[in-house]
Amino acid sequence: MSSAPFQVMKFGGSSVGSPRRLRQVIELISKHAKQGPLAVVVSAMGDTTDWLIEAAGLATQGDLEGAQTVVARIAHLAKTNAAALAPARSTALAARVDTLLAPLQQLLQGISLTRECSAPSRDRVLSFGELVSATLLAELLTASGTEATFRDARQLLVTDDRFGAARVDVARTRERLQTAVTGWRTSVPVIPGFIAATPDGRTTTLGRNGSDYTAALVAQGIDATEVTVWTDVLGLHTADPDIVTDAYPVAHLTHAEGLELAAVGVRMLHPRTMIPLIESGTSLRIRNTMHPDHPGTLIDAIGSRDGQRPTCIATREELALLGIEVRKLSDQFQLGERVLAALREADVTVWLSAQSSNGQSIAVVIPRPDVLRAQGALENELAQELARHEVEPLAIREPVTLLSLVAEAMGHGVNVAGRFFSALGAVGVNVRASAQGASSRSISCVVDAADTAIAVRTTHAAFNLAHQQVSLFLLGRGTVGGQLLAQLRAQQALLKDKHGIALRVVGITDSRRALFDAAGLPLEGLEERLSRVAPVDAATRTLVPLLDELRRQPVPILVDCTAASGIESLYSEAFRRGIHVVGANKKPLALPWNDREALLAEARRHHVAYHYETTVASSLPVIDTLANLVRTGDAVRLITASLSGSLGFICNELTAGVPLSVAVRTAKERGFTEPDPREDLSGTDVARKALILARELGLPLSLSDVALEPFVPAEAQAGTSVDAFLHGLKSLDADYADRVTRSRKAGTVLRYLARIDPSKVGTGSPVIRVGPVAVEAGQPAADLRGSESFVSFTTTRHSDFPLTVRGAGAGGAVTASGVLADILRISQTLRGR
């Protein structure tokens, strides 16, 4: 007889809930039974436990027929599974199921007569799921050639009489297991999980994760080396895969890490399961029944030796945050002690408690269903203090989520807590309470339930991924939007591999259509796919519901590549949802001063970024340069700028002898102008840009304050369509040719410039002037080529030699590159490098 140590395998309900999965379980047990002694713990099949709870409820209501219908459903599942795996014995096994469930029928009949289901009766009802499952599995194993025997857990595990969540007498349980194990080496014992019995033989249940606890107790009692929990996932993941698509199984954890994860609510683990394993030094392995070749997650005393081991992000949802604050604290008050004692007396689970250093306030996190009971207990405990107004009324915030970061190596690194809270703050997630244990293996905080997904994804990316995920919602697929998509296609892989930034487009919209997919939209053929979407009337369409989807994605950014009016309301909705905005649209920044300030304040209030570098000179760093001058205390005395690449191109074409009508049409065809060239030729576009720059200096000016002279007279711009306007420009060709000739003779060059002079404030003279100017040769604006733009800053520090920014100032590709730069700026700020 082999003296090799036992291993324990536990199979959950999903693993034995269907013929296909049950067959896999039998194959796994048969394979491992040949390799050494094995004990098996099994849960109830499929949803049987839920059905038993339903049957008990119906019987309590006096509905015996309904309860019996549920029992028939349980019997049908068991018989179907048995018949599929052992068709030759289907009749005998079906009769065995009926025999096993006959006492349940009688028990439910008694409950229906008394209309009362006591805690002991409820435990007896629930026990039938595991009893049927374990009995059938033993029979099916034997039929398949692996000798197996049903072993009743009620004869092995001894508990007190706290029905529903019984406490185990470990010493007496070990004594019974040590006696029983001598007969287990010749036949695989199949033990029902979840159930046990009092010393006098009354059936009890072990509560949540009861079958895992059974397996741990059996392993401890028979000195097994390892417990394998077979389930329907590949192991313990770095985060909930339903929330984080990039979550992956953790290969190796310590017992202490497992206990921490159990303590913060990871569903696969429970503190009661971990404690027997820690005490006996037994390893726990979590594996997938349908993928038996995958190693899963190993939890043992050693853990991983990898210094770069992953970090687990755990969540516990459906909680409430209770806050209590003392108005006047005395040494005798002992607020925290009294609060926790009152909750313990009321049988309320406390998932987190955080107390101020002076004891003035305490916050506790509890399950939402316990709020009323907890409120009553605390108000009763503090009744006198409340009556004397020494304590603030109880503050309740629900629903909230407990978010925890767990890693053995966390205490050995610096700034872990800083990275944790910084990542949350960067995406606008408010932390309502926080706590860190002395072990430094975990840190937890409380966030609003609505922020759960974004909080989990953000912290998971900050600690586990080699790249920062960024989610883009693109407004506009025109010249700039189309070029941005092209650049994303070209740069996506490089940005991820070389810079650690994973950009993905989750949404795209034009004036009448929208596409959104939280998993990310394929970039190839995206514009064509959008064009196939059924259009919606622009007046009735709202993008706000899509913003609600966007806010749940990692690092959400709304990217505005339109020239649409009224878009500022969508910006505000985005800011309120913690969504960053990158805009190439000048109109929100040219709103009346108070409206513009309110928009920027909204972004600051919600701790999100609003970048708009491309609104002035495409990809040129004009706004950033000006901001740096102002931030460092330099005084800007004068700004002179050629802010329209399109008008710069047209001026150069005119100088080369090209007719005005041809020059304008060419500029439009090359994407240098706005969709309607009159925006450029009227000077309105330059006026907006100049206004944006002036406002960056803190000057509360409006468009009406700009002294504007159009490049083309206003009367020439009248017309019903862009084509009609372009055709009508031919009548001005001769005039502009003559103007260029006269300018050349005078030794000057025609340019369209903006001039911002802060010294004019309060003088009655215009601070901003925009219009055509004859520039003398040798001046910076005179030798601009093509669609170049330039901005010259004359400041206190740059007085003799003005600081000049110069480069391409128009074109879809250039503007798109500036938009992409703003996106990357946000991404790199959040990534911390």
pLDDT score, position 307: 58
pLDDT higher than 80, residue 341: yes
Percentage of the chain exceeding pLDDT 70: 95
Q: How many residues are listed for the chain in this entry? A: 833
Q: How confident is the model at residue 727 (pLDDT cuts 50, 70, 90)?
A: confident
On whether the CB atoms of residues 226 and 282 are closer than 8 A, the answer is: yes
pLDDT score, position 429: 85
Percentage of the chain exceeding pLDDT 90: 60
Q: Which residues pair with 334 in a beta bridge?
A: none
Give the count of beta carbons closer than 10 Å to the beta carbon of residue 39: 25
pLDDT score, position 535: 85
pLDDT digit string (tens) for 541-552? 788 999 988 887
For residue 598, which amino acid is it?
A
Give residue 657's Cα distance to chain centre. Answer: 58
Give the count of beta carbons closer than 10 Å to the beta carbon of residue 591: 17
Domains of the chain: residue spans and CATH: 42-216 (3.40.1160.10), 312-464 (3.30.2130.10), 468-618+819-831 (3.40.50.720), 622-809 (3.30.360.10)
On whether the CB atoms of residues 47 and 81 are closer than 8 A, the answer is: no
Give the count of beta carbons closer than 10 Å to the beta carbon of residue 726: 17
Rounded to an integer, what distance in angstroms lies between the CA atom of residue 370 and that of residue 323? 15
Rounded to an integer, what distance in angstroms lies between the CA atom of residue 477 and that of residue 474? 8
Q: How confident is the model at residue 386 (pLDDT cuts 50, 70, 90)?
A: confident
Contacts of 725 (CB under 8 A, 6+ apart): 677, 678, 717, 719
| Mean pLDDT across the chain | 89
pLDDT digit string (tens) for 216-240? 999 999 999 999 999 888 888 888 8
- For 109-132, b where at least 16 C-beta lie within 10 A, e where not — what string? eebbeeeebeeebbbbbbbbbbbb
pLDDT higher than 80, residue 771: yes
pLDDT digit string (tens) for 656-681? 999 999 999 999 888 888 778 888 89
Contacts of 427 (CB under 8 A, 6+ apart): 454, 455, 458, 554, 555, 556, 578, 830
On whether the CB atoms of residues 365 and 351 are closer than 8 A, the answer is: yes
In this structure, of 4-18, 103-117, 234-248, the range with the lowest mean pLDDT score is 234-248
pLDDT score, position 2: 54
Rounded to an integer, what distance in angstroms lies between the CA atom of residue 456 and that of residue 245? 11
Catalytic residue from among 79, 586, 668, 689: 689
Q: Is the model more confident about 808 or about 775?
A: 775
pLDDT score, position 1: 42
Query: First and final CA of the chain: distance in angstroms?
Result: 63
**Which tokens belong to 760?**
């004019």
In the DSSP assignment, the letter for residue 491 is: H
Give residue 568's Cα distance to chain centre. Answer: 26
pLDDT score, position 833: 42
Catalytic residue flag (residue 10) = no
Rounded to an integer, what distance in angstroms lies between the CA atom of residue 407 and that of residue 410? 5
Q: What are phi and psi of 346, to 5 degrees?
A: -85, 5
In this structure, of 166-170, 536-540, 554-558, 746-750, the range with the lowest mean pLDDT score is 536-540
pLDDT score, position 201: 95
In this structure, of 158-172, 652-666, 704-718, the range with the lowest mean pLDDT score is 704-718
In the DSSP assignment, the letter for residue 551 is: T
pLDDT digit string (tens) for 64-75? 999 999 999 999
pLDDT score, position 332: 52
**Mean pLDDT in residue range 557-585:** 93
Rounded to an integer, what distance in angstroms lies between the CA atom of residue 42 and that of residue 140? 13
Contacts of 280 (CB under 8 A, 6+ apart): 219, 220, 223
Helix 660-669 and helix 733-745, axial crossing angle in degrees, nearest 10 = 100
In the DSSP assignment, the letter for residue 808 is: E
3-state secondary structure of 84: helix
pLDDT digit string (tens) for 774-807? 998 878 788 888 878 899 999 999 998 999 999 8
- Per the rule left: phi > 0, alpha: psi between -120 and 50, beta: everything else, 8 is beta
**Mean pLDDT in residue range 637-642:** 94
On whether the CB atoms of residues 234 and 207 are closer than 8 A, the answer is: no
